Chain A
Amino acid sequence: MNLTLKIWRQKGPQSKGKMVEYKVTEISEHMSFLEMMDVLNEQLTNKDEEPVAFDHDCREGICGMCSMYINGEAHGPDRGVTTCQLHMRMFKDGDTITIEPFRAKAFPVIKDLVIDRSSFERIQQAGGFISVNTSGNTQDANAIPIDKHAADTAMDAATCIGCGACVASCKNSSAMLFVGAKVSQYALLPQGQVEATDRVKNMVAQMDLEGFGNCTNTGACEVECPKGISLENIARMNREFFAASIKG
């Protein structure tokens, strides 16, 4: 198929960006979206133009590196996938496709479609861990049985890949699905209880400091999340935060 692409080009963090139009031809429907981008970049390189910079790595939907806003949706029109898992069979011959970076105040653009997500790193550093040293002397893994449902729900929350689609999809640029998922994973497990109070307070404080907005329950994040992280995690985080605030 033949396509028209409108892509956000921005030379550097301080430069002014703009949408630039490109044509690509003979795209196979079996290609992944990023393979289509490879074709474009090969074409640009051969014409001595600078290829479009975009983040990508594993190309199997798990590393969370890819981050394109395609036709007004984070990771494009398919559900439950990252950009790298999106296939060209979702598009038709002659389509015009608009490609932008994930946009949020806390995700500044570095170049073209590449953004800086270090705000997510700092939130995790504020409390996204259990304080246990590596010693070889921790208790046996089966010493504390954990309710299967709790373990499964914790696992569901823990599958977040930290891509930032939730933030990009939210009209408030809220990161509460991302933070809620991490808070929930630990809140659901006995190992996480000791530090629960400080964890939720510190992570939420850092989230606010980074300039992310608040949740107003529109649910766009849940729809666009490639890993199907549930809104329940936000509710759980709010409960944890409330409880932590009362404890002082």
Chain B
Amino acid sequence: MASLKELKGRINSVKSTQKITKAKQMVAAAKLRRAQAAAEAARPYAERLSGVMASLAGKVSGDSAPKLLAGTGSDKRHLLVVVNTDKGLCGGLNSNIVKAAKIKARALLAEGKDVSFYLVGKKGRAPIKRDYADRIEKHFDTSAVRNLGFEEAEAIADDLIERFEKGEFDVAHLVYPIFKSALAQDPTVDQLIPVPSPEGEGTGGDAVVEYEPGEEEILEELLPRYVKTQLFGALLEREASEQGASMTAMDNATRNAGDLINKLTIQYNRSRQAAITTELIEIIAGAEAL
């Protein structure tokens, strides 16, 4: 049985932990709203862009299609772009993303493909390094940036496209969490390069559209932009997912701490009572003996 003083110390330490988790939960809740708004605001651009892509990609096909759309002709070397968060305290989010990336990597390796990793965010480094230390191409550090913007997405995309042009890989996949709700964030694997032909109707409909300078030139301009938008979307989803997961995890932690405090308080009171009773019995027994 722990002494009264020990119990009191434990109660206090759990209380201060609860204060931290509660603060983190509230911060995450506030940031989540902002991250969600940002993700929402980015949607029109992505929608329009894929609409235009759909109408163009159908027109430009065959040999004239740019490399980013048609691919290099082989699919031997794969690059997994894994988007993780920079900070912890967000439950199982990062391990879920890493798990999805590893499953994909294993599937590709089993098919006899070559796999390498391109890591965005800090928290994916250690777990991926453990299994695939020699396959990591690059870490892209986003931890120094407070508000993720289009610039980061642009930098990543430019780097990726440059590597693609140099022929360092044939296919790139993007692994990132999709924000469903504060309770659910699904890790998703999407093909990034070569750009998959978007589904759906083009915005132009059946009307004859005039292109300036020409379909191919526009498409060539458009594809890098599309890759950037994809990455930007992934970064925004990551942000929202991180805050959502963090909020849920910290909510649970706060509740657990509350339960623990209740339990410890009961234990503390019981042992205090027991000590008082023992003392009383001693006194009474002493008085009776006289």
Please say whether chains A and B are actual partners in one complex: no
Interface residues of B (CB under 8 A from A): none
